[in-house]
């Protein structure tokens, strides 16, 4: 039995149990029926929101635009910072300490400042998303470049490769697995930061979720949670896992899988 079939069976069983509890609650009222949603009701809200009212479709597109823009900028900024910290001791001793100090700070705490800086626009949310992913990308890229095998560097220098050419032709390619880990973390942290920022900001899936909660539409709340989870699964298994297998096989870290 393939992994995909196992996962489908697991989620079908999970939703069946959930739907059964929902109907039992309708009969015996263990919890407030208004506050205990149904997975079938959530599926109905998905259809309505995407194909009838278009509310979820618009919110989904807006959130995707924000996360992809923020993710790409976080990878570019974080990757560049990581390389700089790895190759420059002065930068590592100064700027590196600032990165370490900022890394534990949840990106969402920057939202009040961002809302003032960008006057409550979408730029504030994008700013938070970029911060959410930048530091993870920076630290992983830094460690990846620093941990390049010395024998590779010595071999390159023996062949006359020096300076910036050594960084671009040897150190960066050798640190690709670490960069991939950083990109994966940057996506995860950026996606979480986006949802948290949209809950407080405006537009996107997060704001729609809060509006649904205000109107006690718990089926719509769960429907949006389904979308958030589905995006995470698709990006993880459909993108990062496949890239990881290819990269690890290319770098000889595991056998190539078909």
Q: 64 exposed, middle or buried (CB, 10 Å; 0-12, 13-18, 19+)?
A: middle
Domain membership of residue 229 (yes or no) is yes
Its pTM stands at 0.86
C-alpha to C-alpha distance for 40 and 78, rounded to whole angstroms: 42
Burial class of residue 69 (count of CB atoms within 10 Å of its CB; 0-12, 13-18, 19+): middle
User: Within a domain: residue 44?
Assistant: no
Q: Is residue 12 part of a domain?
A: no
* pLDDT at site 256: 44
- pLDDT value, residue 252: 64
Local confidence band at 254 (pLDDT 50, 70, 90 cut-offs):
low
Residue 174 maps to which CATH number?
A: 1.10.3720.10
The pLDDT, as a whole number, for residue 7 is 86
> Is residue 148 a part of any domain in this protein?
yes
Domain contains 74: yes
| Rounded CA separation 130/117 (Å) | 15
- Residue 26 in any domain: the answer is no
144-164, pLDDT tens digit by residue?
A: 998 888 888 888 888 877 777
- pLDDT tens for residues 85-135? 998 999 999 999 999 999 888 888 898 888 888 877 788 999 999 999 999
- C-alpha distances (whole Å) from 142 to each of 80, 86, 161 are 9, 5, 21
Q: Does 13 map to a domain?
A: no
* pLDDT score of 257 more than 50: no
pLDDT digits (tens, 9 = 90+) for 33-69: 777 899 999 999 999 999 999 999 999 999 999 999 9
Give how many domains the chain has, as a whole number. 1
Q: Does residue 20 lie in a domain region?
A: no
For residue 117, give its domain range: 54-250
CA atoms within 13 A on the CB side of 204: 23
160 and 169 Cβ atoms separated by less than 8 Å: no
Label residue 55 exposed, middle or buried (CB < 10 Å: 0-12, 13-18, 19+): middle
């Amino acid at each position: 039995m393939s992994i995909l079939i196992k996962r489908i069976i697991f989620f079908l069983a999970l939703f069946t149990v959930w739907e059964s509890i929902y109907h039992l609650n309708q009969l015996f009222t263990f919890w407030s029926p208004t506050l205990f949603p149904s997975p079938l009701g959530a599926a109905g809200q998905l259809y309505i929101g995407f194909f009838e009212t278009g509310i979820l479709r618009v919110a989904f597109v807006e959130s995707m635009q924000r996360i992809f823009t923020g993710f790409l900028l976080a990878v570019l900024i974080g990757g560049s910072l990581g390389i700089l910290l790895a190759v420059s001791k002065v930068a590592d001793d100064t700027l590196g300490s600032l990165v370490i100090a900022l890394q534990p700070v949840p990106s969402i705490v920057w939202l009040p400042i961002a809302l003032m800086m960008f006057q409550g626009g979408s730029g504030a949310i994008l700013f938070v998303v970029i911060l959410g992913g930048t530091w993870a990308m920076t630290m992983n890229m830094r460690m990846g470049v620093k941990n390049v095998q010395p024998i590779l560097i010595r071999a390159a220098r023996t062949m006359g490769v020096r300076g910036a050419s050594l960084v671009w032709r040897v150190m960066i390619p050798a640190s690709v697995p670490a960069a991939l880990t950083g990109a994966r973390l940057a996506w995860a942290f950026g996606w979480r930061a986006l949802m948290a920022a949209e809950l407080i900001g405006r537009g996107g899936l997060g704001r729609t979720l809060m509006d649904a909660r205000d109107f006690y539409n718990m089926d719509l709340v769960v429907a949006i949670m389904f979308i958030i989870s589905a995006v995470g699964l698709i990006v993880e298994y459909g993108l990062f896992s496949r890239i990881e297998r290819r990269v690890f096989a290319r770098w000889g870290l595991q056998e190539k899988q078909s």
